Amino acid sequence: MNYTKCHFDFTDLPWLTSPRRQLDLHSVAIGLIKLPPNEGYTFTHRHRKQEEVYLVIEGSGLILVDDDLLELTKGDAVRVSPEARRALKADKEGLLVICAGGVGHGYPENPNSRYLIDDGIPDYDDIPPWYEGNSEVVARNARLKKRWQKTLAKTEASDT
């Protein structure tokens, strides 16, 4: 078949939705990001190879790119290079963003990956400015970091 089609109700999306399997994607990585009002990423991330473009569909907010904090409004598009650290935050009306990136040959590296491009590098110790000093976020990120390290250890063990 030369196409795939699926439907997403943008009013009822979770924080992050990957349509990889629904669309049978092989060369385009897409993430649908819906942040509730005044909520944002609790840590930054970057990529080894993937350049990303963030397209604001609804709402407004902020994107942190390295040390720059950029305002986002409906219709904005922001390209972020792979090595730049990034995080998003919604303003009072929430934020709906489509994140797209090109995929090089050989991805996903892990065939069971939730995402088509699985080269993301989370930095759970790098808390965006909107959550600085928040002890609940620090504790949550510590739990996420521990879980991620266990996953990495399992992956490395299965590769040997």
Give residue 98's domain range. 10-159
List pLDDT tens digits, range 97-122.
Answer: 999 988 766 666 677 766 556 678 89
Would 4 be classed as within a structural domain?
no
Q: Calculate the average pLDDT of the chain.
A: 90
Would 54 be classed as within a structural domain?
yes
Higher pLDDT, 21 or 117: 21
> Domain total for the chain?
1
Task: Give the CATH number of the domain where residue 105 resides.
Answer: 2.60.120.10
List pLDDT tens digits, range 137-152.
Answer: 999 999 999 998 887 7
Please, which residues bridge with residue 18 across strands?
A: none
Would 1 be classed as within a structural domain?
no
List pLDDT tens digits, range 49-77.
Answer: 889 999 999 999 999 999 999 999 999 99
Would 51 be classed as within a structural domain?
yes
Dist CA 74 CA 69 (whole Å): 17
